[in-house]
Amino acid sequence: MDKQKKQKRKPGVCIPWEEKQKELPKISGDKELVRKVWEDIDSLGYVYIWQCLLSF
């Protein structure tokens, strides 16, 4: 699986944090917290579409 072409979006990701971060003002507080919460919620979008495809 390592040989595969690089894809636009990795597994588990709909909108990468790196992309979202560019839209935000400079984060004065805990940047890691913002990243983690973004990625946790973003992964639910991924679950939605892939479970639609696989399970329903």
Partner 1 sequence: MADMEKLYAQRMKRYVTAMRNEKPDMIPIRPFVAEFTAKYAGYTCQEVTHDFEKAFIAARKCAADFDWDAVVANMVYVWTGLTQAIGLKYYAVPGIDISPDVGFQYLEPPEDRAFMKPDEYDQLIEDPTGFLFNVWLPRVSADVCTGAGSPSLHGLEARAGSPCYGEAKWYRNNLSFLKGGMAMLSYFNSFGRQIELLRKESGTVSAIAGILKAPFDILADKLRGYLGLLTDLFERPNKVLAACEALMPHLTHVALSGADPDKNIPIGFWMHRGCVPFVSMEHFNKLYWPTLKPIIEEIWSHGHQVLFYAEGNWNAHLKAFAELPEKSIVYHIDNADIFEAHKVLGDKFCISGGIPNFLLSFGTPQEVRDYCKKVIDGVAGDGGYIMDAGAIMQNDTKVENIKAMTEFTREYGVY
User: Nearer to partner 1 by C-beta: 1 or 22?
Assistant: 1
8, 23, 26, 40: residue in contact with partner 1 (rule CB under 8 A): 8
Applying CB under 8 A, the span of 17-25, 27-35, 41-49 interacting with partner 1 comes to: 41-49
Distances from the Cα of 55 to the Cα of 13, 19, 47, 49, angstroms: 19, 29, 11, 10
Q: How many CA atoms lie within 13 A of 41 on its CB side?
A: 7
Instruction: Kindly state whether residue 53 participates in binding partner 1, applying the rule CB under 8 A.
Output: yes
Give the CA radius of gyration of the chain.
14
**Residues forming the site for partner 1 (CB under 8 A):** 1, 4-5, 7-14, 44, 46-56
